[in-house]
Amino acid sequence: MADSRQTTAVAPIDRVVARIQAVYGRWNRSTSVEQMRKDWDALFWSDAVSVGTESVDADGVDAGWISAAGAHRDRVLIYFHGGGYKMGSVISHQDLMARLSGAAACRVLGVNYRLLPEHGFPAPVEDACAVYGWVLEQGIAPENIVFAGDSAGGGLAAATLIALRDRGRRLPAAGVMLSAWTDLEARGASYETRAQADPIHQRAMILMLARQYLGASGNPRDPLASPLHGDLRGLPPLLLQVGDRETGLDDSRMFADKARAAGVEVRLEVWDGMIHVFQQFAAELPEARRAIANIGGFLNSIWSKS
């Protein structure tokens, strides 16, 4: 007799969530930062997309070039990885950077900025500014440079734009912020309304990372730590992408609203059913592939004007 029982298909996003939770579930108070970083890199790393790679010293900051076939050498996306200012690297984000290089036909420079607990605020901002200066010294014009980053790296991209503007520097042509952490106080209502939907990030963890990053005397409203509190006038066009299931959803919504009010050209994409930095799982999620294609279209539209 045939088995009449039906099997329920597991959605791709649920498989992704299970993988992430399996890694996070192994961590406890005795897990070292070094082990967490190794696990993080292993969780996200992939060489499925063929690209050229080259490690470089960018004015004292470790970085790496990622170049897909056909990438324009004079178009550069400077990428700041996520990881709560504590984890993440060019290794963990190679697949995402490779796909962005292909989608926008540009070179991507991944930045290994200084991390916690060895280095706190404002070391990442200092590193980001130094890398931008180094790229300019390579003969790349500001109008051919775009900043991008996810999570903490998305906040870092915004903070660096503010820092450069305040120093009177010419700004890159645009910014791309994925699930950006823009408010270290985590004040958005979504930290409550999405608490059940978000399988990974909760407000208590976000606030703990913020305290570690800022130190005992740090100000969570410093615009270079929480760009949501900054004066956003004069920033270049921005593309923000965020998942609807994220507790940090309002970090992107509030930042987009404030940037628009300051006269900045902003495009905000909220992806239904998606989690924090879902773009890192493009091999499994069609939504991630479409989001990356959207980023490529945005970058090409920016560069076509230069």
pLDDT of residue 9: 74
Tell me which residue of 173, 78, 91 sits closest to 130, measured CA to CA. 78
Q: Is residue 293 in some structural domain?
A: yes
Whether residue 55 lies in the annotated active site: no
Is 246 known to be catalytic? yes
CATH code for position 231: 3.40.50.1820
* Encoded tokens for 165: 């503007």
Segment holding 44, helix H or strand E: helix 33-44
Catalytic-labelled residue, pool 126, 246, 269, 287: 246
Q: Do the domain assignments include residue 25?
A: no
72 is a catalytic site residue: no
Flag whether 13 is in a domain: no
Domain assignment present for residue 4? The answer is: no
Close Cβ partners of 225 (under 8 Å, ≥ 6 residues apart):
121, 122, 159, 184, 213, 214, 218, 219
Alpha-carbon distances of 1 from 4, 5, rounded to whole Å: 9, 12
Task: Quote the pLDDT of residue 1.
Answer: 42
Total tally of structural domains belonging to the chain: 1
The neighbouring-strand residues paired with 64 are: 55, 110
Task: Tell whether omega for the bond before 227 is within 30 degrees of 0, i.e. cis.
Answer: no
**pLDDT of the chain, 306 residues: tens digit per residue:** 445 455 567 899 999 999 999 999 999 999 999 999 999 999 999 999 999 999 999 999 999 999 999 999 999 999 999 999 999 999 999 999 999 999 999 999 999 999 999 999 999 999 999 999 999 999 999 999 999 999 999 999 999 999 999 999 999 999 999 999 999 999 999 999 999 999 889 999 999 999 999 998 999 999 999 999 999 999 999 999 999 999 999 999 999 999 999 999 999 999 999 999 999 999 999 999 999 999 999 999 999 987
Q: Does residue 2 lie in a domain region?
A: no
Q: Does 26 reside within a domain? A: no
Which of 109, 197, 186 shows the shortest CA–CA distance to 155? 186
Instruction: Give the model's pLDDT for residue 305.
Output: 84
**Domain span holding position 69:** 33-303
Measured CA to CA, the distance from residue 228 to residue 303 in angstroms comes to 26
| Sign of the dihedral defined by the CA atoms of residues 268, 173, 65, 101, in that order | positive
